[in-house]
Structure 1
Amino acid sequence: MNCIIVDDDPLSRQVLRDLVAKTDILQLVTECSTAVKAINVLNKERVDLMLLDIQMPEISGFDLLSNLERKPLVILITGHKEFAAKAFEYNVTDYLVKPIEFARFSKAIQRAHDLFTLSSGANTDGGSFYVKVSGSLVKLNESDILWIEALENYMTINTLKDKYIVHFTMKSLQDKLPADQFIRVHRSYIVRKDKIDSISDDEICIGEERIPVGRTFKKELNKSINLL
């Protein structure tokens, strides 16, 4: 993955540069000391991942993300833990607090790489995407998916053939699936519309599986079904 470092502190950039150099799946495009320089690079180069400091002069990392129409995967980096909640409002891949240990950095990069692989698979092969299972990439046909369930720090993709455990966020996976075929019915569930067998007030059935319907999702579900 092509990445850039955006941080106003030279020492921090050096640390990140060393971490990137130790990571085989990353290729450093350049370093930027300001958000303005980063914008120029993003407009000219293909960037898959941005390692972005939050606290920078003039334009902060949050301000930069707010002004990007199309942004790469983002790992936010800061010396302050209190920004964590706000960070994930920007749908970032991960949030690292300085000083950064290589093991924690590697985990964040692997998460970004998994999302990158999912995105690449979805874009290059319509109707299917790839997930990482036991170190291998497995192709999933969207038409085989029954429902997706979020469980703590992972998700299960339930298909006609098998169940797959993946480490994505619910939102990132929902964004990759076609909205005309999949719908979120609960904060922890996404279902494929044409696999729904029945709907009641507070649950839907897919085969023998009973899936709860959240109150905030019920209206959208009712709008999306074909009712005679």
Structure 2
Amino acid sequence: MESKLLCYILEDEVAAVNILKKHIEKLSDIVDLVGYTSDFLVAKSILDSIKIDILFLDIRLPKTTGFKFLDLLQRKPQIILTTAHTDYASESYEYNAVDYLMKPISFEKFEKAVFKAIGKQDINSNTIQKSLLPKNKKYVLIKNSENNRILKVNFKEIIYLESKNKSTIFKTINQDIQSSYVLGQWERNLPENDFLRIHKSYIINVNFIESIEKGKGNIKLANIDKPFPIGDQYKIKFQNHIDNNSVQL
């Protein structure tokens, strides 16, 4: 998967196309619109020549149906169906559609559908994909390795990250989330002003620092009972952070 998901719209209603375009623009750090059409033959040509990640597909089309169109494709992207009718739900499951969106499509439901599609993509385990870390945003998309769901988590809700069995546990205000990425991958991609590696097993959100124990140097985080040790190789970097933020030990 590239740094952005490539998407395409096959839809014959102008109003629906405009709504989808506006929604896609709001997630422009994650998805990129290749194009749109109401002509299924044009769409087939595009999808056969370009690897599209997500297809927003109207079920009722001029001269054909969305399902018949899918049967024509050499390779199928993730399918998000769009319709004003409720009587196609069973067929959508048969075609393994990511989601079934009723018109008019709200941004909230659109966003959830896109996150579902990301969760179904094959993500390179060697790097954190940029699509999961939208540029200049205040949140991160975390693929929960326990159920493959994509969760949108605000940075301000993440208390700390812990390395565990070649995976990473996100401890947030509301829940624990397990990611298949190792801690070092997250360290290279999280905002440096807010997140600091203090130990081979921990990255903390510095905004949750409540106190620092003199002598032992353990860190107390708000809402967390256990202390967090500072590893020897991380002490200088941590001290520099403390000095730069005018905190006296």
In the alignment, does 2:77 pair up with 1:61?
Answer: no
Query: Which residue identity does 1:12 align to in structure 2?
Result: A
Match of 2:12 among 8, 13, 17: 8
What amino acid maps onto 2:10 in structure 1? Answer: V
Long gaps (5+) in structure 1: 141-147, 167-228
How far 1:162 sits from its partner (Å)?
A: 8.1
Residues paired across the two proteins, number = 144
Find the aligned partners of 2:141 and 2:15 in 1 and give their Cα distance: 37
Q: Does structure 2 retain, via aligned residues, the 8 Å contact 1:34–1:59?
A: no
Aligned to 1:88: 93
Task: Considering Cα pairs closer than 8 Å and 6+ residues apart, tell me whether 1 or 2 has the greater RCO.
Answer: 2
Deviation at 1:135, TM superposition (A): 4.8
1: distance between equivalents of 2:14 and 2:53? 22
Identity of matched residues, %? 31
Residue 114 of structure 1: aligned partner: 119
Q: Shift of the alpha carbon at 1:137? A: 5.4
The superposition leaves residues 47-77 of structure 1 with CA deviations (integer Å, 9 ceiling, x where unpaired) of: 1110000000112100011222311111000
Which has more radius of gyration?
Answer: 2
SS of the residue 2:35 aligns to: strand
Work out which of the residue numbers 17, 23, 43 in structure 1 matches 2:21: 17
- TM-score, normalization: structure 1? 0.54
Contact 2:52 2:77 in 1 (8 A): yes
Q: TM-score, normalised by structure 2?
A: 0.50
Distance in 2 (CA, whole Å) between partners of 1:21 and 1:163 is: 31
Alignment partners' CA distance in 2, 1:61 and 1:11 = 18
More helix by share: 1
Q: Is the 8 A contact 2:83 2:103 kept in 1?
A: yes
- Give the Cα–Cα distance (whole angstroms) in 2 for the partners of residues 80 and 138 of structure 1: 31
**Which contiguous aligned blocks of 4+ residues in structure 1 show a shift greater than 6 angstroms?**
159-166
Q: List runs of 5+ in structure 2 lacking aligned partners.
A: 133-138, 151-163, 170-176, 179-249
SS across alignment from 2:64 = coil
Which residue of structure 2 lines up, in the alignment, with residue 39 of structure 1?
A: 44
